Amino acid sequence: MKARVFVTLKNGVLDPQGKAIGHALNSLGFPGVGEVRQGKVIDLEIAERDESKARASVEQMCEKLLANTVIEKYEIEISP
């Protein structure tokens, strides 16, 4: 199966990159751009066939490695 993991900064954690992007977009003349946040997307191919088992193991991957839960949160999408 395929897993897509989004790792984004928790609210309240400042995001210099997002800020810079927002700033750049405005000065490039894109009007009405509000807050911008940048995160990571990680696409994995996994052998596991069972969706819930897959989700469980990807969740472990996030807790152990993919996200730093001090500053980051994650979402997981599983697709066949």
Partner 1 sequence: MTAQSTVTPEIVREHGISEEEYARIRKLLGHAPNLVELGVFSVMWSEHCSYKSTRAHLRRLPTKAPWVLQGPGENAGVIDIGDGDVAVFKMESHNHPSFIEPYQGAATGVGGIMRDVFTMGARPVAMMNALRFGAPEHEKTRHLVAGVVAGIGGYGNCMGVPTVGGEVNFHPSYNGNILVNAMCVGLARADRIFKSAAKGAGNPVVYIGSKTGRDGIHGATMASAEFSEDSGEKRPTVQVGDPFTEKLLLEACLELMATDAIIAIQDMGAAGLTSSSAEMASKGGSGIELDLDRVPQRETGMTAYEMLLSESQERMLAVLKPGREAEAERIFGKWELDFAVIGTTTNTGRMLVRHQGRIVADIPVHALSEEAPVYQRPVIHPLARSDDTSFDPARPLFDSLLKLIGSPDLCSRRWIWEQYDWSVMADTVQWPGGDAAVVRVHGANKALAITTDVTPRYCKADPFEGAKQAVAEAWRNLSAVGARPLAITDNLNFGNPEKPEIMGEISACIDGIAEASRVLEFPVVSGNCSLYNETSGEAILPTPAIGGVGLLENIHRMATIAFRREGDAIILIGETKGHLGQSLYLREIERSESGAAPAVNLESERRNGDFVRTLIETGQVDTAHDISDGGLLVALAEMAMAGGIGAFIPNLDRDPIPFLFGEDQGRYLISVPGSRSEQLMKDALNAGLRPGFVGTTRGDRIEVQGVGSITLAALRRAHEGWFPRYMRADELPPTN
Partner 2 sequence: MKSAVVVFPASNCDRDAAVALEQVTGQKPAMVWHGESELPDVDVVVLPGGFAHGDYLRCGAMAALSAVMRDIKAKAEKGLTVLGICNGFQVLTEAGMLPGALMRNARLKFVCRPVGIDVQESQSVFSRKYESGQRISFPVANGIGNYFADAETLDRLEGEGRVVFRYADDDNPNGSLRNIAGILNEKRNVLGLMPHPERVCDPLLGGTDGRALFESLFESLS
What amino acid is encoded at 20 in this protein?
A
Subset of residues 18 to 77 that bind partner 2, contact rule: CB under 8 A:
20-21, 24, 28, 38, 40, 64-66, 68, 70-71
3 state SS of 32: coil
14 touches its own copies (CB under 8 A): no
Closest-CA residue to 7 (of 48, 54, 43): 43
Minimum CB separation of residue 4 from partner 2 in Å reads 16
Backbone phi and psi for residue 27, each to the nearest 5 degrees, phi listed first: -70, -15
3 state SS of 10: coil
52 touches partner 1 (CB under 8 A): no
Residue located via tokens 């472990």: 60
Minimum CB separation of residue 68 from partner 1 in Å reads 7
Q: Which two tokens stand for residue 72?
A: 């980051």
Subset of residues 28 to 47 that bind partner 1, contact rule: CB under 8 A:
28
Query: Which residues are at the interface with partner 1 (CB under 8 A)?
Result: 9-17, 19-21, 23-24, 26-28, 65, 68, 70-71, 73
